[in-house]
Amino acid sequence: MSLHCQKSAKGDKVNTHKFKADIHQDREDSEAMAIEPPFFEKYKAILQSSANEKEKPSTVEGFEELELPLIDLSHLNLGPLERQECIEKMGQAAIEWGFFQIVNHAVPDELLNRLKQEQIKVFQQPFDKKSENNFLNLSVQSYRWGNPLATSLRNLSWSEALHISLKDISKMDEYNKLRSDAIRHGPLLLSSSPDQCHCGLSYPMSTIEEYAEKANFLAQRLAEYLAQNLGIKANYFQENCSPSSSSLRMNRYPPCPYPSMMFGIIPHTDTDFLTIVSQDQVGGLQLKRNGRWVSVKPNPKALVVNIGDFYQALSNGVYKSITHRVIANQETERYSAAYFYCPTYETVIESCSKPSLYKKFSFKEYREQIQKDVKATGDKVGLSRFLL
């Protein structure tokens, strides 16, 4: 396992006058570019307050860079011994790390490349268009940026995202159908795969829909393999999860002028069973391991998998939902796509063994508790709310 130190990003110490000048200049540049969220306008008070401080507290220091445990899923198709060893390696990574990476996962590189191009097309739209309530015919607040509840640099997220409930993908398809003249006169906003057509309109399956189908199938398989180590019945996830209950979040992390003082995404755990992440090679993902932050070395051939809160509760604390974050980058934008494998809102999650660490709760109850905590404290409290 490679182990080396990642140097802290440039710009740790910033002259107060230069900081204020940069805020003004970068705001003008952002307005000129049109596509960028108005970070400097929205968080002007936070940024200027920080600029007035004599000392600039560094949020991001140097960190060790580690390679996540690597699972080759092709071993599942070999003999029974190799298959069992692969499943056990998955379970051990979920116990010790809460994270692992997978190769030979049956999601084609060509599809992942197309998904990346879709993200670029979406986020290169003018900010005024992205922030419309009906952007791409999606639900309100599908497009998100920053952190509306930020009160300091420590909880400011320098990123934008398109969070798509899978039941909304059909709305995106309808959006493109209504723009079908673009098939004749130019490219659609969302490109398509030639594999499947809808309604006789010569409109193929969208890249996002195609990826979501494959990611959902992969997530279900991984969840079932991990369940074997715990004695959970094989059809648990088929009974309690459906594609329409899961979601896809496409992320963009713009270059950040002061990466040592703020995050791309603030520290958090995931509210789901499993998350499957496709990321580029810029890097920036960090997780908390043995009480300290470590950086994850990007692997160009792998998808990253992490355990969510619900699997930690279901496993009675055996599998770990680990706090993670994304650091900001001063020079290069970063893209990632996270598929959140979730149960239906009515699903009751109960520890698989006794004595239970957690009381029973439904997805709906969990989400409502998160919303209360975020409103009251500015942060997600999570599973500790449900400890017995």
Identify the three-state secondary structure at position 46: helix
Pick from 126, 93, 102, 345: which is nearest to 226 by CA?
Answer: 93
Average pLDDT, the chain: 84
Strand partners, 295: 65, 286
* Phi, psi for residue 339 in degrees, rounded to 5: -100, 120
Quote the radius of gyration of the chain (alpha carbons, Å).
Answer: 21
pLDDT at 19 > cutoff 80: no
Q: pLDDT digits over 110-160, tens only? A: 999 999 999 999 999 999 999 998 898 898 889 999 988 888 888 889 999
Taking only the tens place, the pLDDT of each residue in 340-372 is: 999 999 999 999 999 999 999 999 999 999 999
The pLDDT value given to residue 151: 82
Cα gap 44→27, rounded to integer Å = 10
The yes-or-no verdict on residue 184 having pLDDT over 80 is: no
pLDDT of residue 11: 43
Segments making up each domain of the chain, as ranges: 60-174+205-353
Mean pLDDT within 151-175: 84
What pTM value is reported for the model?
0.85
- Please give the pLDDT value at position 4: 37
| pLDDT score, position 383 | 96
Per-residue pLDDT band for 242 (boundaries 50, 70, 90) equals confident
* pLDDT class of 294 with cuts at 50, 70, 90: very high
* Residue 25: per-residue pLDDT: 54
Residue 36 CB-half CA count within 13 A: 19
What CATH architecture applies to the domain 60-174+205-353? Sandwich (2.60)
DSSP label at residue 281: S
Contacts of 58 (CB under 8 A, 6+ apart): 8, 12, 260, 261
pLDDT at 180 over 50: no
pLDDT, residue 21, reads 53
Q: Residue 48 has what pLDDT?
A: 81
What is the per-residue pLDDT for 47? 83
307 contacts 94 by C-beta, under 8 angstroms: yes
Q: Which of 263, 23, 1 has its CA nearest to residue 154?
A: 263
List, by residue number, the catalytic residues: 334
- Give, for 296, the enclosing helix (H) or strand (E): strand 292-296
pLDDT in tens, 295-327: 999 998 999 999 999 999 999 999 999 999 999
pLDDT tier at 26, thresholds 50, 70, 90: low
Mean pLDDT, residues 161-174: 83
Q: Tell me: the pLDDT tens digits for 57-101?
A: 556 666 789 999 999 999 999 999 999 999 999 999 999 999 999
Residue 32: what pLDDT?
A: 42
Measure CA 174 to chain center.
25
